[in-house]
Amino acid sequence: MKEFILIPLLACCFCLEVTAQDNAQIESAVLDYVGGFYEGDTLRISRSINPDLSKFGYSYEKDSQSYKGHAMTFNGAIDFALDVKNNSDYAAPPDAIKKVEILDAQDKIACVKLTAYWGIDYLLLAKYDNKWMVTKVLWQSIQNEQ
């Protein structure tokens, strides 16, 4: 009888450990993603973003008081990081926010909300060869109320 209870209990503990490990890897991938953009680090971009990246977002344009759409590919992300690296004016402030909220995670896919200094990103990640990578991003900048 003890074995009947102990085996499922041990199985549950193992599942929780795997989930905690996946959550840590998901968070690490998202921090590489945001860090790559913040610091202009192409290695972090390459490590965290799948080459099939599809990223689209809306930035608020103060002059027109409207939003403008922007698409980005993997190569565009690399180019942006290089721009940041080569021009410190594009870099994020040292204390810039990096809040990662895992909204849902399965064994092969995850959905994450990232609060960054530019706004909010919703990221979809997939697990490729036991490595979590960002595949899709939908974002919006924060509209300053002035």
- The pair phi, psi for residue 96, each rounded to 5°, is -60, 140
Query: For residues 117 and 98, what is the distance between their CA atoms, to the nearest angstrom?
Result: 8
Q: Return the ∠ at Cα 18 (arms to 17 and 20), rounded to 5°.
A: 65
What's this model's pTM, rounded to 2 decimal places? 0.84
pLDDT in tens, 96-126: 999 999 999 999 999 999 999 999 999 999 9
pLDDT in tens, 58-92: 999 888 889 999 999 999 999 999 999 999 888 89
Give CATH for domain 2-141.
Answer: 3.10.450.50
pLDDT in tens, 17-69: 447 899 999 999 999 999 999 999 999 999 999 999 999 999 998 888 899 99
At which residue do the structure tokens 């890897």 appear?
A: 25
